[in-house]
Chain A
Amino acid sequence: MEALLEQIFNGVSLGSILLIVALGLSFSFGQMGVINMAHGELIMIGAYTPYFLQSESGWFDGGAAGTAFVVALPLGFLAAGLVGVAMERTLLRRMVGRPLDTLLVTFGVSLILQQAARDTFGAPNVDVVSPTWLTGRWELLGVVMPHRRLFIIALVMLAVAALSAFLATRPEGRRMRAVMQNRDLAEVSGLSTRRVDRTTFFLGSALAGLAGVAVSLVGSVGSQVGTGYIVDAFLVVIVGGLGKLRGAIVGALALGLLNAFSEFWTSASIGKAVVFVAVIAFLQFRPNGLVSFRTRGLVA
C-alpha cells in the first residue's frame, strides 16, 4: 500500500513537470504550427540558472545558496522566455504553419544551445545546492515525500493557476486564445497575430525555463537535462490535445503516473516502451487527444 501511494506521489511530481513543459510546446504548435525541438534547451537554460547564480556569479557567496535559488526562479523564467522570443523573432516567424521546417531548424538550434552550454559550464554535469528549507521530508501514511518534490508540485500548481487566470481575464490572454482558435479571423479583426505570437512564445519558453529551475532540485544539471523530459512532454501534447489547458493537465498526470507505475513494476526501459504502447493504443480511439480541438483557417 505504501509502495502504491509512493508511486502515485512520484507520478504526480513527474507529471507536474511534464505539464508546464508540455504547455509551452502545445501553445506554440497550436497557435503557430511550430514544433519546437529546442524546447528542452529552454529547460536547460532554466536549470543552469541557479547553478550560475550559486557557483559562477560570485553574487551569493557565503551560504546564500537558498537565496540564489529563489532568485533563479524569476531569472530562469525570464532568461528562457527571452531566448525563446529571440528564436521566434529571428527564425520561426518566417515559418508559421510549416511544422516540418520548424522541426529541422529548432533541432539545429537545440544542438547549438547544448554546445554553448558545454562551452560555458563545462561538459560534466553540475549540481545545484538545494535551499536548506527544502532538504527535509514529510511522511504521511508511510509515504516519504521530499520537500523538494512537494515544492515542485506547488510551484507548478501556482504557475498553472496564474496562467489560466491570465488566459481567462487579461486582454493579452484573450488575444492568445483568439489567435489559437482562428488565426485568420483574428488578423481580419485587427489583431496583429505576430505580436500575439511573441507573447505566446515568451510565455511558453519562460514556463520551460521555470520547469528547468525546478528540475535542478531533483537531479544533476547537464547540457542534456532537457532532452529527457521533452519526449514525454510531446506525448502529453499528443494525448492532451492541442492548445488545451485541461487536456494537458489530464495528459500530464496520466503520463506521469503511467511512467511511475510502469517503472515500478517493470524495468525502466521496458517502462518507457509500455508508455509508448499505451499512448498508441489511446490514439486509436481518440485520435484528436483527450479534448479535441481544431484550429480553423478561412483560407487554407
Chain B
Amino acid sequence: MGGELAVDGLCVAYGRTEVLFDVDLLVPSGSLVCLMGRNGVGKSTLLNAVAGLLPRTRGSIRFDGAEVSGVRAHKRARMGIGYVPQGHAVFPQLTAMENLLVVLERAGRSDRSVLDEVLDIFPALATLLDRPAGLLSGGQAKQLAIARALVTRPKLLVLDEPTEGIQPSIIHEIEDTIAALHATTGMTMLLVEQYVEFALRLADRYAVMDGGHIVSAGTTTDVDLTAFNDLLAV
C-alpha cells in the first residue's frame, strides 16, 4: 500500500511573506486525512509544497520514509504523489482523452488498462472524451482532474477542495466516488474540504489550520467540532 506522508516543521514563504509556520502533519499509510480551515489560512500552500510546486524555507517532507523536499514536482508525481489542485485543474485545450493520455504516455508506458479503470470510476467521462476540457462543466472538469491524477496510479492522492464551486447534485456524486475509492482501494488520501460533515464522515484523522499554523489535529472519533466552529466558519 504505502503512501505515508510526514510533514515536519515546514515553513513556506511567497517571497518574503511567510505563509506556513512550523507545520506538522502526518498522513499514515492507508488513512484518509482531512485538512480544514477558513479561506486563506494556508491549506493550498501546504498542498502545493507537498506536491513540489513551492519550495520550503525550513522543515522536511517525507514520503514513504524518503525525504522529498528537494525533489522536483514531476519526480514526486512519479514516486506516487497524485495531486488534484484547487480550481479548474485540467489542460483546457486538450480533449478529455488527451488530458488522460498525456499523463499516461509520459514514460512510454503502453499499459492502457488504467484508462479503463478510471473510466469505470467516472463513467460520465466516457461520453465526453472528445470534448476539449475547457468546455466541460465544473463537475465534469473536476472528475477529469481526479481521473488524471489516478492515471498515474498514485499511492497518495491529494485533493484540494474537490467539491468547491460545483452544483450540489454533482457534489454528492464526487463525494461518493472519493469515499468508494478510499474504501475499495485503501488508497492513502489527504483531502481539503469545506463541508465539515462530509469530511468527518469520511476521514480517519483531521487537522485544522489557522493563520499558517496547524491549530488542532487528531482522530475523527473523538473530535468535538463545536470547539472550533469559529475556525471553520467560511
- State in angstroms the CA–CA spacing of A187 and B48 once bound together: 11
* Interface presence of B172 (CB below 8 A): no
A118 to chain B, nearest CB (A): 41
**A-side binding surface: helix, strand, loop or mixed?**
helix
Taking a contact as CB atoms under 8 Å apart, the answer to whether A177 and B53 are in contact is: no
Taking a contact as CB atoms under 8 Å apart, the answer to whether A191 and B106 are in contact is: yes
Q: Which residues of A contact B108 (CB under 8 A)?
A: 171
Taking a contact as CB atoms under 8 Å apart, the answer to whether A187 and B106 are in contact is: no
Whether A182 touches B103, Cβ cut-off 8 Å, given contacts A174-B98, A298-B48, is no
Checking A175, A178, A187 against B72 with a beta-carbon cut-off of 8 angstroms, the contacting residue is A187
**B-side binding surface: helix, strand, loop or mixed?**
loop
**CB-CB nearest in chain A for B49:** A299
- State in angstroms the CA–CA spacing of A193 and B72 once bound together: 10
Checking A182, A192, A299 against B91 with a beta-carbon cut-off of 8 angstroms, the contacting residue is A182
Q: Which residues of A contact B211 (CB under 8 A)?
A: none
- State in angstroms the CA–CA spacing of A186 and B74 once bound together: 8
* Interface presence of A190 (CB below 8 A): yes
Q: Which residues of B contact A185 (CB under 8 A)?
A: 85, 89-91
Which A158-188 residues sit within 8 Å CB-CB of chain B?
A: 171, 174-175, 177-178, 181-182, 184-188
* Interface presence of A189 (CB below 8 A): yes
Whether A188 touches B94, Cβ cut-off 8 Å, given contacts A171-B105, A174-B105, A175-B106, is no
Q: Which residues of A contact B167 (CB under 8 A)?
A: none
- State in angstroms the CA–CA spacing of A193 and B166 once bound together: 30
Q: Which residues of A contact B91 (CB under 8 A)?
A: 177-178, 181-182, 185-186
* Interface presence of B77 (CB below 8 A): yes
Whether A192 touches B102, Cβ cut-off 8 Å, given contacts A177-B91, A178-B91, A187-B52, is no
A297 to chain B, nearest CB (A): 9
Checking B76, B86, B102 against A178 with a beta-carbon cut-off of 8 angstroms, the contacting residue is B102
Q: Which of A175, A190, A296, A299 has the most CB of B within 10 A?
A: A190
Which B78-97 residues sit within 8 Å CB-CB of chain A?
A: 78, 83, 85-94
Interface string of A180-222 (1 = CB under 8 A from B): 0110111111111100000000000000000000000000000
Checking B77, B93, B148 against A181 with a beta-carbon cut-off of 8 angstroms, the contacting residue is B93
Question: How many residues on the B side are at the interface (Cβ–Cβ under 8 A)?
Answer: 33
* Interface presence of B152 (CB below 8 A): yes
Whether A188 touches B52, Cβ cut-off 8 Å, given contacts A181-B93, A298-B85, is yes
* Interface presence of B101 (CB below 8 A): yes
Taking a contact as CB atoms under 8 Å apart, the answer to whether A188 and B53 are in contact is: yes
- State in angstroms the CA–CA spacing of A190 and B149 once bound together: 10
Whether A189 touches B53, Cβ cut-off 8 Å, given contacts A178-B91, A181-B94, is no
- State in angstroms the CA–CA spacing of A296 and B91 once bound together: 9
B51 to chain A, nearest CB (A): 5
Question: How many residues on the A side are at the interface (Cβ–Cβ under 8 A)?
Answer: 20
* Interface presence of B54 (CB below 8 A): yes
Taking a contact as CB atoms under 8 Å apart, the answer to whether B103 and A191 are in contact is: yes
Whether A299 touches B93, Cβ cut-off 8 Å, given contacts A189-B148, A191-B102, is no
Whether A187 touches B73, Cβ cut-off 8 Å, given contacts A174-B101, A177-B91, is yes
B73 to chain A, nearest CB (A): 4
Q: Which residues of A contact B74 (CB under 8 A)?
A: 186-193
**CB-CB nearest in chain A for B108:** A171
**CB-CB nearest in chain B for A175:** B102
Q: Which residues of A contact B53 (CB under 8 A)?
A: 184, 187-188, 298-299
Q: Which residues of A contact B152 (CB under 8 A)?
A: 189-190
Q: Which residues of A contact B98 (CB under 8 A)?
A: 174, 178
- State in angstroms the CA–CA spacing of A184 and B160 once bound together: 15
- State in angstroms the CA–CA spacing of A187 and B74 once bound together: 5
Whether A190 touches B106, Cβ cut-off 8 Å, given contacts A174-B101, A298-B48, is yes
- State in angstroms the CA–CA spacing of A298 and B87 once bound together: 9
Q: Which residues of B contact A188 (CB under 8 A)?
A: 51-53, 73-74, 76-77, 83, 85
**CB-CB nearest in chain A for B44:** A298
Which B58-75 residues sit within 8 Å CB-CB of chain A?
A: 72-74
Taking a contact as CB atoms under 8 Å apart, the answer to whether A181 and B92 are in contact is: yes
**CB-CB nearest in chain A for B77:** A190
Q: Which residues of B contact A171 (CB under 8 A)?
A: 101-102, 105-106, 108
Q: Which residues of A contact B77 (CB under 8 A)?
A: 187-190
Taking a contact as CB atoms under 8 Å apart, the answer to whether A190 and B93 are in contact is: no
- State in angstroms the CA–CA spacing of A192 and B108 once bound together: 13
Could you tell me which B residues sit within 8 Å of A by CB distance?
48, 51-54, 72-74, 76-78, 83, 85-94, 98, 101-103, 105-108, 148-149, 152
Q: A182-B92, A186-B74 given. 5 additional CB < 8 A pairs? A: A171-B106, A174-B94, A182-B89, A190-B78, A193-B74
